[in-house]
């Protein structure tokens, strides 16, 4: 199976702590994650509060046992916090939907939430 890597960067007008807390639900390495009514599942691989989150991710329609690796790196910048996102191992057939999904279902809503 061919895979691709999603690379995105977005700046939030918020602290790294606020962005980290908005992204996190399960608080421990090895903790399970789940999103979109079970379509996405995975595990926390590495957690550095207010700096980095690394998780395994897979869609329920992906090949059995195949996980991608999603990494969220947070860095303080003049205007807030820059999030640099990388998701490696995304099945090539899912790349476009996954790439658009992060922008439409995560970054935009997070920006709106943090402005409140």
**What is the band of 35 on the pLDDT scale with cuts at 50, 70, 90?**
confident
Q: Which helix (H) or strand (E) is 17 found in, with range?
A: helix 16-23
Please tell me the pTM assigned to this model: 0.92
Using the predicted structure, report yes or no on whether residue 116 has a pLDDT greater than 70. Answer: no
> What is the percentage of the chain residues whose pLDDT exceeds 70?
98
Instruction: Quote the pLDDT of residue 115.
Output: 83
| Number of structural domains found in the chain | 1
The lowest-confidence range among 26-30, 41-45, 76-80 is: 26-30
Q: Give CA–CA dist 104/106, Å, rounded.
A: 6
The domain containing residue 15 runs over which residues? Answer: 3-115
CATH number at residue 97: 3.30.530.20
């Amino acid at each position: 199976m061919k895979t691709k890597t999603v690379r995105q960067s977005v700046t939030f007008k918020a602290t790294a702590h606020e962005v980290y807390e908005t992204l996190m639900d399960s608080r421990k390495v090895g903790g399970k994650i789940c999103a979109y009514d079970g379509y996405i599942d995975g595990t926390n691989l590495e957690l550095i509060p207010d700096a980095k989150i690394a998780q395994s991710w897979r869609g329920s329609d992906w090949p059995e046992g195949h996980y991608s690796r999603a990494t969220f790196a947070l860095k303080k910048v003049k205007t807030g916090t820059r999030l640099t996102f990388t998701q490696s191992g995304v099945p090539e057939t899912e790349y476009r939907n996954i790439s658009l999904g992060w922008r439409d279902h995560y970054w935009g809503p997070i920006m709106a939430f943090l402005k409140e």
